Structure 1
Amino acid sequence: MPEVVTLGETMVLLNALNTGPLKYVTHFVRQIGGAESNFAIGVSRLGHSVGWISRVGKDEFGKYIISFIRGEGVDTSQVKEDSDAPTGVFFKERQEGGESKVYYYRKGSAASRMVPADLNPDYIAGAKFLHITGITPALSESCYETILEAIRLAKSRGVTISLDPNIRLKLWSAERAKEVIMGLVSQADIVLPGLEEGRLLVGAEEPEEIAARMLKTGAKIVVIKCGDKGAYLATETYAEFVPGYPVARVVDPIGAGDGFAAGFISGLLKGWSVTEAVKLANAVGARATQVIGDVEGLPTMEEVEIFLGQRREIER
């Protein structure tokens, strides 16, 4: 059984090759994107076993997604092919400064039809970590019920639950997102929000207060991502700000948060302290911003060590 299990939607990403509004873009590169599979690939590249649960359409895009993710060392044995619904698609619009917008075509997708019966209790029970995001419950009521069932199964077997809020306001209202995700925060052991997400969820401005309120809700570890500045780490007994690793040029920021989550869970799996795990998370997140694509920049441990100057790269 994999050490880490995650579940959620992965779509085909059509990434604009040139910058500017999509109405002027004529060429795209086909890639994949999905917060949970991004995370899973990140964990795999860092040397751990990980499984991804989902549904894809029984179509060519679905086959491509399964093939790609399996090729990255992620177990896809729990992914179901749906003959009655398509694989989701989204487009990415990029700007010169590294900013990007995404446009989803995912309503009624195969993944939005996930149900609790799709879960194998033994598969989740065999893991050390269950990683979930706030995207999946936004897809449909049955997806929300599936997340709740995954949490129930994990808790019944002592599996640690990590949550990345990953708020997507194109999928639901801020009020509904806050209601559902704070409910998940109360059941998670580890919560990994971005600073703006934390502000939306608890109504506080500073990382210290955001973390304190989430810990009071029930979380045991809260790590607030603060961009290239680093991350604020808090537990019931300890807190510190862990500096980040600024990069000279951000090429594509999407996927950095998923890389951060992968780095943090990887650090814990390696038996490191929570502080060292956050340092690894910061490095993975920074490294991920330097390559176009959601997963293409996610590094191996060797690449992390080279990025941090701990290992010399042999170029020829």
Structure 2
Amino acid sequence: REFGGCAGNIAYTLRALGGEPVVMAALGEDGAEYLARLRGWGVDTSLVRSVPGQYTAQAIIITDTDNNQITAFHPGAMQHAHEAAVPAARADLAIAIVAPDGRDAMLQHAAQLHAAGVPFVFDPGQGLPMFDGGELRGFVERARWVAVNDYEGRMLCDRMATDLATLSRMPHLDGVVVTLGADGCEVWQQGRREHVAGVPAAEVVDPTGCGDAFRAALLFGLERGWPLARCAALGNRLGALKIASRGGQNHAVDRARLGLGG
């Protein structure tokens, strides 16, 4: 049994990097321990909603020796995540990510972030199949960046009837990142593709949470104005670091070894 979920996993790594995450999510009536855990890291939980009569979302993940996974998922309180709204005016919200969540929450929070003028990464992950082409276009048109894995990238382009080069030329987008697992990732900007090499893992233990570690690195770098390829390179390093430990919140992040200071 491990603490997990995209929001918690991203917050763990982002905080370890030196960021100041604000978590927007929903917990059930069993969520007190998790809430205390987040606060113990120094994470802002003011936008976390506690839902009475519901359990916190739970996933049972089966992973084989090739890192293929089958997941059984109970959404629980996540079905109420849309009931929390992005604040209309909050100066400390510099950048955001719309990551896998309840369908209504992803739609509403993307619209609310756009209305509030908060630039965000659209990274739908395993939630992508919930949306049709028109809905996906709505997300992309509001986002500043898009991040997907190679499979999700093909599905996104198929449903939007486009390709990655064309997608990356949309005038409001600063870039599209496509992760390739151990092979690193591709960064698409204005129709041009740049490959960012992968980082060999010291040991392959558990891929759960690797994408969230990558997401945290993106947010950390983008908030600091880094070029997108540099953000992706840090993401590759964090993904390789995370895969060597079990769960999404147990890897140790050494800022000095990452060249980020002590």
Trace 1:8-23 onto structure 2 (pairs within 5 A).
none
Give, in whole Å, the separation in 1 of the partners of 2:62 and 2:109.
34
Gap change, CA 1:267 and 1:156, over 3 Å in 2: same
Aligned amino acid, residue 184 of structure 2:
G
Which residue of 257, 276, 289 maps to 2:211?
257
Match of 1:136 among 98, 101, 105: 101
Report the Cα distance in structure 1 between the residues aligned to 2:27 and 2:232, rounded to whole angstroms. Answer: 33
Q: 2:225 is matched by which residue type in structure 1?
A: G
3-state secondary structure, aligned to 2:156 = helix
- Partner in structure 2 of residue 126 of structure 1: 92
User: Quick one: which amino acid aligns to residue 110 of structure 1?
Assistant: A
Q: Displacement, 1:58?
A: 1.9
User: In structure 2, what is the equivalent of residue 80 of structure 1?
Assistant: 49
Cross-structure match for 1:185: 140
Matched residue, 1:22: none
Count of equivalent residues: 259
- 1:126 Cα deviation after fit: 3.0
Q: Structure 1 281/215 Cα, relative in aligned 2: closer, same or farther at 3 Å?
A: same
Residue 37 of structure 1 corresponds to 8
Inter-CA distance 298–184: structure 2 relative to 1 (3 Å threshold): farther
One-letter amino acid of the structure 1 residue matched with residue 95 of structure 2 = F
The amino acid of 1:289's aligned partner reads I
**CA shift at 1:221, angstroms?**
0.9
Q: Which of 144, 150, 159 in structure 2 is aligned with 1:195? A: 150
Matched AA of 2:93: A
CA contact (8 A) 1:99 1:252 kept: no
CA distance in 2 between counterparts of 1:188 and 1:281 reads 20
Deviation of 1:110 (Å): 1.7
Alignment pair present for 1:103 and 2:52 = no
Q: Larger Cα Rg: Structure 1 or Structure 2? A: 1
8 Å contact kept, 1:202–1:213: no
Q: Please report the TM-score for the alignment, with normalisation by the length of structure 2.
A: 0.86
Please say if residues 284 and 304 of structure 1, whose CA atoms lie closer than 8 Å, have aligned partners that are also in contact. no
Give the drift of 1:53: 1.3
Query: 1:176 deviation in Å?
Result: 3.4
Q: Does 1:213 align with 2:166?
A: yes
The correspondence for 1:56, drawn from 19, 27, 50, is: 27
- Say which SS state the counterpart of residue 62 (structure 2) adopts: strand
Confirm or deny that 1:91 pairs with 2:51: no
Alpha-carbon distance, 1:215 to partner: 2.2
How far off is 1:292 after superposition? 0.6
Given residue 211 of structure 1, which amino acid in structure 2 is its aligned partner?
Answer: L
Q: Does residue 288 of structure 1 match 2:242?
A: yes
Whole-Å separation in 2 of the counterparts to 1:272 and 1:117 = 31
**Structure 1: which 5+ residue stretches go unaligned?**
1-29, 139-143, 312-316
Deviations 1:218-254 (A, max 9, x none): 5321111011111111222753111111225321112
CA distance in 1, matches of 2:17, 2:66: 29
**Residues 1:200 and 1:117: Cα distance change in structure 2 (over 3 Å):** closer
The answer to whether residue 221 in structure 2 is matched with residue 267 in structure 1 is: yes
Counterpart CA distance in 1 for 2:163 and 2:178 is 8
> Which letter does structure 1 place at the counterpart of 2:243?
T
State the alpha-carbon separation in 2 of the partners of residues 90 and 243 from structure 1.
Answer: 31
Q: Name the SS for the 2:45 alignment partner.
A: coil
Tell me if the contact between 2:7 and 2:24 (Cα under 8 Å) persists in the aligned partners. no
User: Do 1:132 and 1:161's aligned partners in 2 also have CA atoms closer than 8 Å?
Assistant: yes
2:110 is aligned to 151
**Would the aligned equivalents of 1:182 and 1:201 in 2 still touch at CA under 8 Å?**
no
Q: Could you tell me the TM-score, scaled by structure 1's length?
A: 0.73
Deviation at 1:89, TM superposition (A): 1.9
Partner SS for 1:250? coil
Give, as a single letter, the amino acid of the residue that structure 2 aligns with 1:277: C
Q: Is the 8 A contact 2:168 2:175 kept in 1?
A: yes
**1:276 aligns to 2:243 (yes or no):** no
Structure 2 distance, partners of 1:38, 1:195, is 21
Deviation at 1:137, TM superposition (A): 4.0
From the superposition, tell whether residues 180 and 160 of structure 1 become closer, same or farther in structure 2 (CA, over 3 Å). same
Partner of 1:16: none
Distance 2:84 2:72 in 1: 30
Q: Give the C-alpha shift of residue 131 in structure 1.
A: 0.8
Q: SS at the partner of 2:182?
A: helix
Q: What percent of counterpart residues are identical?
A: 25
